[in-house]
Structure 1
């Protein structure tokens, strides 16, 4: 349970019902904050902390942020506030869709991350995934992945089988779409590398480019426009969502 939230509510005399009324959410939502340690949307976090008269960090300690390197924090804030995320990956699955076992193998296979830091980075990556399952306005997430990603035996057959099954499960969510660029496609913009586009609440766009050492947040309008052009290219080469789910279903069998 979120003991810090519960203590703040007891100290101010608030119940689940009264806090829900003040914040403007359903009582079931607040009950999840208390009993399941769900993290509210940043907007609701701010209102709730004000109502309870406590700093946000005292109630919802941002542990995932403290685990992240300094250079990643600007993108983490953009990711949290985004109303839409568009991710293209040609080598591995997007971090927001990785299972624990798959993510551990990806992180452990890097020579950049020290073996003793793998679990810390893993915990941070898994914590970030909560934005896709939060109750209040999760971002619309569209992922385009190259078919080669699904055929690379990261962690072995069992890990890949569970990972592809997990992809099929998230594909059922109305705000998540996965598209696969088939191996029959020749040269296309995705061969130049992975990227993520984030659309913020005020329709402001930002991009994120990754490399072996650290990522780069892109906000220059011309650079963002170039990434958007690349997105249109990779999305245009990909199968439809339903065709992609059919391919994923076939891939489960290949890893069985």
Structure 2
């Protein structure tokens, strides 16, 4: 499995915060100590940004300074942090699509997720979109330039490589609202629905949440829960203004409960397949 620099930055931020908390030090005190030692430039709020994973390429000098302050002297442990910092500084393939993906924060996490559980209210999940549907979605978002549209589609298709045959990608469980299926343009609906049927396997399942289910706990909108082998889970949501990530254990637990309720309200996997098959043009 490819290593995600996004996940490595998140891990590095968390571990540095845990080191500080274990020493009982405040961010203000650590910043003052770093300034006194004169290793790196330490502006007000810098440590908070580091611990909140609000950095792009972690500084080796900054990490070494923090390890010194926290009393990390074991050579093997310091080397592990040096390796983690190096991996966190790498750039992923999505950097080449920064014009359409921005920082690619979600894509970077998606790359190394062990499992992805997603509920989509209005669109088919990105990993399960055909090229034609991805193109239609992009036009629906108001993009009119053909070259820009193709950039979006290329990036979307590149994301799907984690699900390619033989790839050690994540297990995926997708719950798709019936409303999302009905919004697929008629001229490409059959192709997209056939893809949802054909792509399924033991590690990739689709459930349909029918209109008949009525109101449910996820009426507030779509979200995805990403689980990792060696890191805490993340909940991802997006709106017209921003990508939102939730990592607090209480928030994670709430979203997992909501997902379980929605999953229970959805059709079973076999019934969902029958539902999709019935939508195909006879």
TM-score by length of 1: 0.70
The superposition leaves residues 196-231 of structure 1 with CA deviations (integer Å, 9 ceiling, x where unpaired) of: 110001262101101113311221222222211211
Alignment CA distance shift 1:241-1:158 (3 Å)? same
Q: What is the SS of the residue equivalent to 1:67? A: helix
How far apart are the structure 2 equivalents of 1:100 and 1:70?
17
Partner residue, 2:173: 142
**Contact 1:131–1:139 (Cα < 8 Å) also in 2:** yes
Match among 212, 215, 218 for residue 184 of structure 1: 212
How far apart are the structure 2 equivalents of 1:110 and 1:150?
17
Partner residue, 2:223: 195
**Residues matched between the structures, number:** 197
Partner residue, 1:160: 189
Alignment CA distance shift 1:134-1:237 (3 Å)? same
**Contact 2:94–2:104 (Cα < 8 Å) also in 1:** no
Work out whether 1:65 is the aligned partner of 2:25: no
Alignment CA distance shift 1:237-1:72 (3 Å)? farther
Match among 17, 33, 42 for residue 2 of structure 2: 42
- Structure number with greater Rg is 2
Q: What is the SS of the residue equivalent to 1:190? A: coil
| Higher mean C-alpha deviation, range 240-249 or range 221-230 | 221-230
- Contiguous gaps of at least 5 residues in structure 2: 4-85
- Contiguous gaps of at least 5 residues in structure 1: 1-40, 44-54
Q: What is the SS of the residue equivalent to 1:121? A: helix
**Contact 1:146–1:181 (Cα < 8 Å) also in 2:** yes
Partner residue, 1:78: 109
Match among 214, 227, 233 for residue 205 of structure 1: 233
How far apart are the structure 1 equivalents of 2:162 and 2:151?
19
How far apart are the structure 2 equivalents of 1:100 and 1:218?
30
How far apart are the structure 2 equivalents of 1:181 and 1:203?
30
Partner residue, 2:150: 119
Q: What is the SS of the residue equivalent to 1:87? A: strand
Q: How far has the Cα of 1:63 moved from its partner?
A: 3.6
**Contact 2:111–2:169 (Cα < 8 Å) also in 1:** no
**Contact 1:102–1:159 (Cα < 8 Å) also in 2:** yes
The superposition leaves residues 163-191 of structure 1 with CA deviations (integer Å, 9 ceiling, x where unpaired) of: 000101012x2210000011111110221
